[in-house]
Amino acid sequence: MSRLKIFISSVQKELAAERRAIRSFVESDALLRRFFDVFLFEDVPASSRRADEVYLAEVDDCDVYLGLFGNDYGFEDAAGVSPTEREFDRATVQGKTRLILVKGPDDRARHPKMQALVRKAGAQLIRRRFSAIPELTAALSASLVEHLVAKGWVQDRPFEEQPCPDATLDDIDPKAIAAFVRRAREERQFPLSEGAAVADVLTHLNLLLAGQPTKAAILLFGRNPQRFLPSAEVRCMHFHGTEIVRPVPFYRIFKGHLFEQADMALDFVLSKLDRSVGTRAESVQAPVRHEVPPDVVREAIVNAIAHRDYASDAAVQVSVFADRVEVWNPGQLPPPLTPEHLRHPHSSIARNHRICEVLFLARYIEKFGTGTLMMIRESLAHALPEPDFVQRAGELVTTVWRDWLTEKVMAGFSLNERQRSAVLHVKIKGQISNAEFQSLCGVPHRTAVRDLMGLVRLGMLDHEGTGRGAVYVLRRNRAINVPIVPPPHPPLPLPAKTLIADVSGGNRANNAPNAPTAPLGRASAKAASMGRRVLGKPAINRPNRPSAQTRQERDIKGTKETPGGNPKSATNVPNVPSTPKSASARKRAMKGQKGHSLGDAKGHQSGKRGIKT
């Protein structure tokens, strides 16, 4: 688009500073310089043409005539008329846009002919007065912006209500109109009939302005909306992992009107999510269950399309990762809404009222501020974490978390029922503490630590915080297609509190698995071993011994023959090492174990004294 030319008419010598100030102001203003060029007669090079021919030709060629009237009337020709007045008369005849700025608060010091010119101009249009250059540039700026608005080049209407340049009713798709009317009549009792004319439907929806389709009309029902609004599209990407990588494994850009974009983007996401098909036990149609409720995904996508900033050059982006679905919506939340407000009941504040009205009539949205609450409720009902809403870099990012810990994945782990309950609890509540696990499963502290730390070692949970504030949260950055193996980090030691409980002789849980607990450090293992020897109690995490034993092994471990000949285990046998390999070691071990058969503490200290007794 070519810029508009401003012709400045005045007595050059009297108002030379004002003329230069106007040109400098227009050239430095971020808005005005995009639309205007300033012509000054003093910049015209020397020529053989007459001066009056040059400036009158420039008036004919200009778009805006700007008259600066001071005290002097200026040079008069043979008819007694100055160039300033002739330029004004020529602009009037040519129908140019005229702006008149008069210097000074009153006309007492003006030349009589200039007074007459001021009165003549005032009878035809509104003139403004100024005393100094800042007042001059402020008045000029207001007048030029008003002119741009009148021309439609700068809009004071919301973006969606502005007429779409160069668009006509031929750019509206009648099939899209008919499909909308049919759906709106079914869903919201839309009053117009299915055979209503395109112009009548658009007029009823306030999508026509002086017979021209608005930008909202083109977005909603246009044959090719991207011809007028190139960034009005949805870009969908599928990544196999949890990070954005190049090249994108699967990438689609969906164009067309807004209904088509919403439907195609939803189909794209659902095609990348896991789903299961049930049986026809309840109906003739087999039920299909997605890992993420389709309503949650649909709400995230439609919200972005309905409330995005269409004046932005950015597009709606939908990214499917291994652990989440992200929807990036260009534009800030309208005040006073914040991301935290979306988690609580709130008013519906629309950025694009006309677009939202049409989507409401088609039941794509509800216009009641309940969409985000539904997303949270449905996610929790399907044992998924709550969606995240984050405002960053001029965009609203909505994150819907996928259930990467599916039954198929969890089946590959050797989890007990307590651990399965813990994972389900974390999916719903977001976290679990040791105390909550004890209450949930009815187990002591040490069992809770063993089960929870086992989930951490398997890469299913993360341990956050210390002391009583420590909690376990779902590890969200694990891809669902990674091998089901524990992560390659060193084993985590049990907390000191658990070691004390073990050494002090707490009862072993009846349903605890027969497997070692988390390996201890060298110092901790030594301390625990010493505590067990002093207390004379077996190790809680002692691995199972083979059932088949020799007579010598039973003697070493503290078994004795009853009068009936049946072996009977001693009740307080200390934890001792297995049978030594060398003969001398076996003799020493058997000699030290003779007193153990009596089963008391004294016999433990002196085998010989136990035999004599």
Are 123 and 243 within one domain? no
pLDDT at 262: 97
- 43: domain CATH number? 3.40.50.450
Structural domain range at position 510: 407-535
Q: Check whether residue 8 and residue 130 sit in a common domain.
A: yes
Give the pLDDT of residue 329.
94
39: Cβ contacts below 8 Å, ≥ 6 apart: 5, 6, 7, 8, 58, 62
The answer to whether residue 546 is domain-embedded is: no
Q: Distance between CA 228 and CA 212 in Å, rounded?
A: 14
- The candidate with the shortest Cα–Cα distance to 480, out of 260, 198, 242, is 242
Please classify residue 572 by burial: count the beta carbons closer than 10 Å to its beta carbon, then call 0-12 exposed, 13-18 middle and 19+ buried: middle
**What does the pLDDT read at residue 76?**
92
**In contact, 114 and 70? CB cutoff 8 Å:** yes
Residues 372, 515, single domain; the answer is no
Q: Do residue 363 and residue 393 come from a single domain?
A: yes
Amino acid 104: pLDDT: 92
What angle is formed at CA 24 by the lines to CA 19 and CA 25, rounded to 5 degrees?
A: 100
Q: What does R_g of the chain's alpha carbons equal in angstroms?
A: 43
540 occurs within a structural domain: no
Tell me: do 506 and 421 sit in the same domain: yes
CATH number at residue 415: 1.10.10.10
Pairing of strands 461-464, 471-474: antiparallel
Does some domain include residue 284? no
- Residue spans of the chain under pLDDT 50: 477-577, 579, 594-613
pLDDT at 383: 80
What single letter denotes the amino acid at residue 590? M
Q: 444: buried, middle or exposed (CB in 10 Å: 19+, 13-18, 0-12)?
A: middle
Last residue of a domain, one of 154, 173, 200: 154
The answer as to whether 204 is a domain residue is yes
DSSP class of residue 600 equals S
**Token pair in block for residue 297:** 């995904």
- Please report whether residue 113 resides in a domain: yes
**CA–CA distance from 551 to each of 493, 561, 576 (Å)?**
38, 10, 16
pLDDT of residue 396: 94
Based on the fold, state whether residues 268 and 307 are members of the same structural domain: yes
| Residues 448 and 527 occupy one common structural domain | yes
Residue 530: how many other CB atoms lie within 10 Å = 11
- The answer to whether position 360 is within a domain reads yes
The pLDDT value recorded for residue 485 is 39
Burial (CB count <10 Å: 0-12, 13-18, 19+), residue 341: middle
pLDDT one-digit tens code per residue, 263-289: 999 999 999 998 777 666 666 777 778
Domain count, the chain: 5
Q: Which residues contact 235 (CB under 8 A, 6 or more apart)?
A: 251, 252, 253, 254, 315, 316, 317, 318
Contact 351, 159 (CB under 8 A): no
Is 578 inside any structural domain? Answer: yes
